[in-house]
Structure 1
Amino acid sequence: MKPLEGGRAGQIWGDGETVTRPSGAWTPTVHRFLRHLRSSGFLRAPQPVEIAANGREIVSYVAGRVCEDLGDPLTGSEPMLISAARLLRDFHAASQGFLESDREPQRWMLPSQEPREIVCHGDFAPYNVATADDEAVGIIDFDTAHPAPRLWDLAYAVYRWAPLSDPSNSSATSSLDEQLRRAEIFCTAYGATSEERQALPETICRRLQALVDFMLARAAAGDDTFVEDVASGDAKLYLNDIAYLRRHRARLLQMLC
């Protein structure tokens, strides 16, 4: 086993076949959901193996390269944006039915959002998408999966893949025009409706505010991970991005609609 690069350094290990990572109270629900995806024909997510007694989960390894740097040119290429959006669309289609068919008590890390249409991934970003050449081929890290509308997931995905960030945020790797172009490509490839496009800017802002609220609450409860995130300024960056999106809402709507 060797440590895998990315978030939570030193806590995620792989051997080329499986990945061992920290588990949580939500992991049994997530494992049932991953089995549902596979039974629905979606094979581009990890397959659960077991939840070990040492507080770790073991899942199958999803081959591919992930982009930790949102400024990676590959992330913003048209083929990558199109394939990522279609991957999210296919995942959402496979997600349908789990909330109704699962008969065991469900626990999620993030709060559910109404209407509970599907189980969203919750963090569909380049660092959680496996790629091969210039194509998105798989999704990893389902810790943040939770029931919500499809638009809730699409909003965060567009925010990350554009990425729609204020210039003061290190994630702002491209001009506003380029961000808007990428957002439109992603929405078109996903198949976003006119109603979804109209609601997207405000939904992104609500999604980011929900993330900030969750981070601050977990930090206040003493969760070391979120204490570090807040101390490093992550919450402030999201709030800056909310203000940035609201300043440019008209431009975004013009491009999308």
Structure 2
Amino acid sequence: MKPLEGGRTGQIWRDGETVIRPSGTWTPTVHRFLRHLRSRGFVGAPEPIDITDGNREVVSYVAGRVCEDLSDPFVGSEHMLVSAARLLRDFHSASQGFLERDDEVQAWMLAPQEPREIVCHGDFAPYNVAAADGEAVGIIDFDTAHPAPRLWDLAYAVYRWAPLSDPVNPAGSFGLEDQLRRTQIFCTAYGATIEERLRLPETICTRLQALVDFMLTSAADGDETFAEDVDAGDARLYLSDIDYIGRHRDRLLKALS
């Protein structure tokens, strides 16, 4: 086995064509959802294999290069942006029906959001997308999957892929004009309606505030991972980005409409 690099160093391992990860109370629900995706013909997600007695889950390895750094021309290209948006759209289409057909008790890491249209991924960011031959082809890490409107997932995806983050932040990759253009490209490739586009700025801010609240609550409850994230300033960065999006709301709406 060899460790996989990422947000939880030393906790996620690759063993041949499988990945071994920490499991949670939500993992049985997520595994049923992953099987649902397969039944709908969506193969861009891990195949669930096992949940061990040692609080580990085993899933298939999703081949491809993880799209970590948007400043990398391979990752930040418009071609990759378009393919990521289409991958999200295909995932949302395959997600339909699970909430109505699954008759077992469902548990989720994140609180469901109304209306419960589909199961969203919850963290459709470059670091959770695998690419091959220059296109986004797979999605990994479904811990944050939870019921919510499609727009809830689209909002966070746009925030991460544009990205709609203040360029002065350490991870800033693009200036405002490029961010606006990339937002429009992503929404068009996804097939967002005009209503969804007009609701996007407010939904992004609501989604980020929910993330901050979850991080702070989890850290206060003793979750070491989230405590480290809070200490590293992640919550402050999200709050800064909420302010950034609010300041440029009119420009964003103009670009989207």
The two structures have a TM-score, normalised by structure 2, of: 0.98
In 1, the alpha carbon distance for the partners of 2:113 and 2:161 equals 22
In 2, the alpha carbon distance for the partners of 1:3 and 1:179 equals 34
RMSD of aligned Cα (Å)? 0.8
For 1:183-222, list aligned pairs within 5 A: 183-222=183-222
* Alignment-derived partner of residue 245 in structure 2: 245
> Which consecutive unaligned segments of at least 5 residues does structure 1 have?
none
- Please state if 1:69 is matched with 2:69: yes
Number of aligned residues: 257
* Alignment-derived partner of residue 143 in structure 1: 143
* Alignment-derived partner of residue 3 in structure 1: 3
Tell me if the contact between 2:68 and 2:75 (Cα under 8 Å) persists in the aligned partners.
no
Aligned-residue identity in percent: 77
In 2, the alpha carbon distance for the partners of 1:167 and 1:136 equals 24
> Which consecutive unaligned segments of at least 5 residues does structure 2 have?
none
Structure 1 residue 172, shift from structure 2 partner: 1.4
Tell me the amino acid that sits aligned with residue 97 of structure 2. G
Tell me the amino acid that sits aligned with residue 37 of structure 1. L
In 1, the alpha carbon distance for the partners of 2:106 and 2:71 equals 36
In 2, the alpha carbon distance for the partners of 1:226 and 1:110 equals 14
Tell me the amino acid that sits aligned with residue 35 of structure 1. R
CA deviation vs aligned residue, 1:70-111 (integer Å, no higher than 9, x gap):
322222211101110000000000000000100110000001
Tell me the amino acid that sits aligned with residue 222 of structure 2. G
SS of structure 2 residue aligned to 1:119: strand
Structure 1 residue 169, shift from structure 2 partner: 1.7
Structure 1 residue 145, shift from structure 2 partner: 0.1
SS of structure 2 residue aligned to 1:107: coil
* Alignment-derived partner of residue 48 in structure 1: 48
In 2, the alpha carbon distance for the partners of 1:165 and 1:210 equals 17
SS of structure 1 residue aligned to 2:65: coil
- Please state if 1:15 is matched with 2:15: yes
Tell me if the contact between 1:23 and 1:55 (Cα under 8 Å) persists in the aligned partners.
yes
CA deviation vs aligned residue, 1:12-47 (integer Å, no higher than 9, x gap):
111231000100010000000000000011111000
Structure 1 residue 170, shift from structure 2 partner: 1.6
In 2, the alpha carbon distance for the partners of 1:47 and 1:26 equals 16
* Alignment-derived partner of residue 165 in structure 1: 165
The two structures have a TM-score, normalised by structure 1, of: 0.98
- Please state if 1:83 is matched with 2:83: yes
In 1, the alpha carbon distance for the partners of 2:58 and 2:172 equals 34
Structure 1 residue 3, shift from structure 2 partner: 0.5
CA deviation vs aligned residue, 1:111-138 (integer Å, no higher than 9, x gap):
1000000000000011000001320010
Tell me if the contact between 1:68 and 1:127 (Cα under 8 Å) persists in the aligned partners.
yes
In 2, the alpha carbon distance for the partners of 1:107 and 1:169 equals 35
Tell me the amino acid that sits aligned with residue 110 of structure 2. L
Structure 1 residue 141, shift from structure 2 partner: 0.3
Tell me if the contact between 1:120 and 1:148 (Cα under 8 Å) persists in the aligned partners.
yes
Structure 1 residue 67, shift from structure 2 partner: 2.3
Structure 1 range deviating more: 141-150 or 162-171: 162-171
CA deviation vs aligned residue, 1:225-253 (integer Å, no higher than 9, x gap):
11111111000000000000000001111
Tell me the amino acid that sits aligned with residue 32 of structure 1. R
* Alignment-derived partner of residue 95 in structure 2: 95
* Alignment-derived partner of residue 226 in structure 1: 226
In 2, the alpha carbon distance for the partners of 1:188 and 1:74 equals 21
In 2, the alpha carbon distance for the partners of 1:208 and 1:40 equals 30
Tell me if the contact between 2:164 and 2:241 (Cα under 8 Å) persists in the aligned partners.
yes
In 2, the alpha carbon distance for the partners of 1:6 and 1:219 equals 20
Tell me the amino acid that sits aligned with residue 143 of structure 1. D
For 1:112-123, list aligned pairs within 5 A: 112-123=112-123
Structure 1 residue 60, shift from structure 2 partner: 0.3
